[in-house]
Amino acid sequence: MSAEDAAAAPAMAGDLSGIVGRHLIYAYDNGWKYELYVRNPQTVAFRCLQGPMFGRWSTAQPAKMLQLSGDMYKIAWVEPTGTVTVLIAWLCERRIHTTICYPQWMLDYPESTLGRYEDSLDEITAERDQGPTYPQTLVASTGRITFLETRDADDDTVIDRAPGKLPLDYANRTN
């Protein structure tokens, strides 16, 4: 099977009704905080709320999702920067594990990726294509879900502004 055939082949996603519409904030053990909203079975929105990538966000990131077991889900996406993210979320246990592969150019010049991806796709892809894309840095992190709620699918009000425009204590919400 070619790579194109594999990308086009439907995956056995399982029941995604337990993850679609979920909005979560999670804190990694290193102190970084991110926010994720599962818009629908093919799209997520995210924001970096705290850490070196503060300011990165997307409202329409294509993603692949699988139900691994019960309330455990795997969500994976490739950002326009070339960054590959694979996140596993255990909702009831409120744990996450993420593996991220950063291309070298993005680590060298992260400031060019800070902002909403959809607003600067041409610039981001031009920088990505200049590289270097290799070597890549692989980061594996664990953390806890500190905020979890259910929203309607495709709700444009969940992630609707830049991280710097959020209320001061937004990233520290818990439930």
CA-to-CA dists, residue 48 to 17, 81, 92, 136, angstroms: 25, 15, 23, 20
**Strand pairing category for 56-62 and 115-116:** parallel
* Of 125, 99, 100, the residue nearest 112 (C-alpha): 125
The residue annotated as part of the active site, out of 34, 37, 73, 102, is 34
The answer to whether residues 158 and 23 touch, using CB atoms and an 8 Å cutoff, is yes
Looking at 26, 28, 35, 79, which residue is catalytic?
Answer: 79
In the residue annotation, 4 being an active-site residue is answered as no
31: DSSP letter: S
**34 in active site:** yes
Residues with catalytic annotation?
A: 34, 79
